[in-house]
């Protein structure tokens, strides 16, 4: 596993961290695969009831690293097969890992979320963020279709009006807008850009207070 994505187990909580700050936490196809693998591994840990996904640095994730599309097949006639086996399969794999994750999934947005990474977090059960957070899914401006099942998940979590702004207009959705429509549960106003450790600490305090051992873990999973 690469250092760009890592997992730490803390009793009933598993923390997945994206740390590729030089690339603003953009992920390659292989790194999205690793993220999906970690989520499925966590699903097998009976002692874990909560998964927290967060990032290091100023950005949560700048989406897909462009290097995922750098490889080309030797025979141009096999382009469709090549992309089906690589990009499409990878996209389906990470999306499936998110929408089938059995644990309580909490995303802690330490900064902006862009592209596929932004689409995937719509499957979270709770989302916390810092004031500098924004959501940007520029698929239409890049000549792409929406990824990560965003055309469905965004409508459910953002509402049809904001979902259309995000997906069709490629509009940047601010933290305040995300809070107003219920996409995020809370903005931690006391956290500045790059204060990821402080932010994660506050999120863990929130989780302990709201989802601590006073609640029955197995009940949480069954309710979800």
For the chain, the residue count is 224
Q: 190 an active-site residue?
A: no
* 183 contacts 157 by C-beta, under 8 angstroms: yes
Task: State the residue for tokens 């309580």.
Answer: 104
**Across the chain, which distance is largest between two alpha carbons, in Å?**
60
* 12 contacts 49 by C-beta, under 8 angstroms: yes
List CB contacts of 74: < 8 A, sequence separation 6 or more: none
Integer CA distances (angstroms), 199 to 95, 129, 138, 189, in order: 26, 8, 27, 10
76 CB burial (10 A radius; 0-12, 13-18, 19+) = exposed
* Tokens (6 digits) for 19: 């740390």
Q: Cα separation of 138 and 167, whole Å?
A: 7
Q: Cα separation of 136 and 133, whole Å?
A: 10
DSSP result, 83-94: HIIIIIHHHHHH
Which residue, 169, 175, 183, 61, is CA-closest to 116? 61
In the DSSP assignment, the letter for residue 130 is -
Per the residue annotation, which of 147, 177, 195, 206 is the catalytic one? 147
Active-site positions? Answer: 147
């Amino acid at each position: 596993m690469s250092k760009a994505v890592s997992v730490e187990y803390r009793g009933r909580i598993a923390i997945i961290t994206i740390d590729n700050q030089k690339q603003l936490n953009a992920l390659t196809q292989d790194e999205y695969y690793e993220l999906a693998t970690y989520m499925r591994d966590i699903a097998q840990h009976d002692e874990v009831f909560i998964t927290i996904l967060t990032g290091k640095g100023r950005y949560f994730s700048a989406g897909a690293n462009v290097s995922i599309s750098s490889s080309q097949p030797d025979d141009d006639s096999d382009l469709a097969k090549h992309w089906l086996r690589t990009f499409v399969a990878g996209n389906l794999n990470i999306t499936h890992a998110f929408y089938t994750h059995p644990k309580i999934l909490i995303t802690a947005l330490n900064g902006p979320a862009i592209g596929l990474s932004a689409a995937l977090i719509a499957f979270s059960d709770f989302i916390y963020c810092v004031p500098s957070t924004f959501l940007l899914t520029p698929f239409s401006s890049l000549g792409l279709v929406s990824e990560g099942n965003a055309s469905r998940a965004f409508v459910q979590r953002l509402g049809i009006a904001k979902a259309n702004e995000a997906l069709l207009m490629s509009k940047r959705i601010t933290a305040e807008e995300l809070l107003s429509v219920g996409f995020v549960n809370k903005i931690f106003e006391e956290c500045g850009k790059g204060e990821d450790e402080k932010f994660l600490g506050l999120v863990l305090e929130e989780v302990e207070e709201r989802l601590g051992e006073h609640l029955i873990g197995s009940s949480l999973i069954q309710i979800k």
